């Protein structure tokens, strides 16, 4: 049905695609630490060597009831529900910053428990709903 030439080409192409996918996989795997946009508190805890005074990004949820505002500076806790890190920040917060919501802080660790942020980004999750529905869910809880 298929001529010999075409068959040979198909095999060659499959082989090539296989090689490329392995190649790409290895590249992505070795670059993983650079590809991830932020680390969670647990990942920072589990790192054998943490680099203090180096710019990194920390991400997680803002712990409910943990925000303390004083003038323009704010302290809050970023949690991934297993581990927590205290973040202190001085500056403007994004509008969508809220307790219980996702957040990413860019800055430096001073030790494993304390983080000084230079920039705060609000992370939006994949849930979309009208305000009334949100209210209804809260009421039923």
Partner 1 sequence: MLKKLYPDKILSLNNRWTVILSILMILIIFVGLIYALFISPPDYIQGDSVRIMYVHVPSSFISLGCFAFIGIASIFSLIFKIKFTPLIAKSLAPIGTVFTLVSIVTGSLWGKPTWGVWWVWDARLTSMVILFCFYIAYILTWKFINDFNKANKISSIIGIVGMFNLPVIKYSVDWWHTLHQPSSITLTSAPTIHYTMLIPLIIMLFGLIIYSLIIFLMKYKTEIMKFKLEKKK
Stretch that binds partner 1, among 5-13, 47-55, 67-75, 110-118 (CB under 8 A): 5-13
Cα 63 to Cα 19, 82, 88, 127: the distances in Å are 45, 11, 13, 19
Nearest distance, CB of residue 54 and partner 1, angstroms: 17
Residue 37 in the binding site for partner 1 (CB under 8 A)? yes
The Cβ of residue 115 has, within 10 Å, a number of other Cβ atoms equal to 23
Residue 98 in the binding site for partner 1 (CB under 8 A)? yes
The secondary structure of residue 39, as a DSSP letter, is: B
- The CA distance from 17 to 2, in Å, is 20
Instruction: Name residue 60's beta-bridge partners.
Output: 103
User: Which of residues 39, 76, 89, 115 is near partner 1 by CB under 8 A?
Assistant: 39
Contact yes or no for 68/95 (Cβ under 8 A): no
Nearer to partner 1, 52 or 129 (CB): 129
User: Which of residues 54, 125, 139, 141 is near partner 1 by CB under 8 A?
Assistant: 125
Residue 139 in the binding site for partner 1 (CB under 8 A)? no
- The CA distance from 132 to 107, in Å, is 37
Site string for partner 1, 58-97 (x = CB under 8 A): -x----------------------------------xxx-
CA 101-63-54 angle, 5° bins? 90
Nearest distance, CB of residue 105 and partner 1, angstroms: 12
Cα 99 to Cα 21, 51, 60, 66: the distances in Å are 41, 28, 11, 8
Q: Using CB under 8 A as the criterion, which residues of the chain lie in contact with partner 1 when the complex forms? A: 6, 9-10, 13, 17, 20-21, 24, 28, 32, 35-40, 59, 94-96, 98, 101, 104, 120-134
């Amino acid at each position: 049905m298929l001529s010999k030439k075409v068959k040979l080409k198909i095999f060659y192409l499959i082989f090539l695609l296989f090689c490329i996918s392995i190649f790409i996989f290895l590249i992505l795997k070795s670059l993983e630490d650079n590809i991830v946009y932020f680390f969670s508190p647990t990942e920072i805890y589990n790192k054998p060597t943490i680099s203090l005074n180096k710019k990194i990004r920390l991400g997680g949820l803002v712990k409910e009831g943990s925000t303390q505002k004083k003038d323009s500076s704010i302290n809050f806790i970023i949690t991934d529900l297993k581990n927590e890190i205290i973040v202190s920040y001085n500056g403007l917060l994004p509008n969508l910053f809220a307790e219980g919501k996702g957040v990413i802080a860019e800055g430096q660790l001073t030790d494993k428990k304390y983080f000084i942020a230079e920039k705060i980004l609000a992370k939006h999750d994949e849930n979309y709903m009208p305000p009334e529905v949100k209210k209804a869910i809260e009421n039923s809880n």
